[in-house]
Copies of this chain bind each other. A is one copy, B any other.
């Protein structure tokens, strides 16, 4: 992989990295094929070879995000498995928020569907797998912890809570009402939830 050959060698990944940089530095609205090419040090028409068009580039970027997202949550879940289903779910929630902070550009693109093709099968499968980790974790809970509620609704509640927390935080809305940082708020919210579902502990 010499530096200055005619063939880049890893242009596809380099372009996805470039998108990451653009979003991080200038926001998602600033992403363009030409700017991505510029950052990858390649002619402006090169990206079309790998992604077809702009939507293709953003779709691939979002799919990459969901893959990493899923991996991180699965890793966290497995690591917390010995603590039981509650610890497992909590670890996933924390990872959900951590991902949104550490990979903010990815997180943004994953949930700004106007730039990517929502019907792309690769993207759909990636997102499905990622969220599946969270949803499965709720299903593993002791039914008694659900208080008779349907598992699907319990899963949606957990998902929505953690997702809402992440997006409200990143949009700067939560900071209008408190000085607490995200992890402190998350702890409070998660404990609240545990206090409700398992007060006997």
Q: Which residues of B contact A172 (CB under 8 A)?
A: 113, 118
A199 and B127 form a contact (CB under 8 A) = no
Q: How far is the CB of A124 from chain B (nearest CB, A)?
A: 7
Contact partner of A164 (CB less than 8 A), chosen from B153, B154, B159, B191, is B159
Contact partner of A160 (CB less than 8 A), chosen from B29, B168, B196, is B168
A195 and B160 form a contact (CB under 8 A) = no
Q: Which residues of B contact A124 (CB under 8 A)?
A: 176
- Is A147 part of the binding interface, using a Cβ–Cβ cutoff of 8 Å? yes
Given A153-B185, A160-B161, A164-B162, CB of A177 within 8 Å of CB of B29: no
- Is A81 part of the binding interface, using a Cβ–Cβ cutoff of 8 Å? no
A29 and B161 form a contact (CB under 8 A) = no
Bound Cα distance from A154 to B193, whole angstroms = 9
